[in-house]
Amino acid sequence: MQISHQMQVSHQDIKKATYEVIKSALEAGFGETSNFIGFYAKCAKLIRDSNDPKAVVIRSALKIFPDEETWTQKKNELALKYRGNLRLDLLKLYELYHTLSDLERCNSKETRMTDADIDNLLDRL
């Protein structure tokens, strides 16, 4: 599934995708007390219970995917390690995180001050 980088990714999208991963993992035989379920449950709770869930998912996205190479590595890892619906749901979740990370990194570059901005600032002072 290819997500357009023009699309906005919300914390609700990530939360819903995380819930789907948990459901698929339980259906695939992971126990409720497994480390896998515990990890994704912790992530879902953090989003659900946060006063600023948008900031939580943005921080997570940037931490998970600081660069494009990490996304390629993660896709390959998921493809090798998981099968069926769990693989699809994990890929969907991480593609959402990747898209959000890309959008945030682009926004960060666009808002970074240029030398011309600094010159204008110096002229005003």
Classify residue 66 by its DSSP letter.
S
pLDDT of residue 107: 74
**Residue 125 maps to a domain:** no
C-alpha distances in Å from residue 35, one per residue of 1, 23, 32, 39, 42: 27, 15, 9, 6, 10
Asked whether residue 67 is domain-assigned, the answer is yes
SS3 content of the chain, % helix, strand, coil (to 5): 75, 0, 25
For the cut 60, the answer to whether the pLDDT of residue 13 exceeds it is yes
User: Rounded to two decimals, what is the model's pTM?
Assistant: 0.80
Q: Is residue 3 in some structural domain?
A: no
Is the per-residue pLDDT at 108 higher than 70? no
Instruction: Report the distance separating Cα 38 and Cα 32, nearest Å.
Output: 8
Higher pLDDT, 116 or 109: 116
Q: Is residue 122 part of a domain?
A: no
What's the domain count of the chain? Answer: 1
Share of the chain above pLDDT 90, in %: 73
In a domain, 24, yes or no: yes
| Residue 37 in domain | yes
Range of the domain at 79: 11-112
* pLDDT for residue 110: 57
Query: Kindly report the CA angle at 70 between 36 and 5, in degrees rounded to 5?
Result: 100
Would residue 19 count as lying in a domain?
A: yes
Tell me the C-alpha distance between 115 and 77, whole Å. Answer: 41
Q: What was the pLDDT predicted at 25?
A: 98
Residue pair 100/9 in contact (Cβ under 8 Å)? The answer is: yes
- Write down the mean pLDDT value for the chain: 89
User: pLDDT tens across 32-64, in order?
Assistant: 999 999 999 999 999 999 999 999 999 999 999
> In the predicted model, what is the mean pLDDT of residues 5-9?
64
- Residue 44 in domain: yes
Statement: residue 5 has pLDDT above 60: no
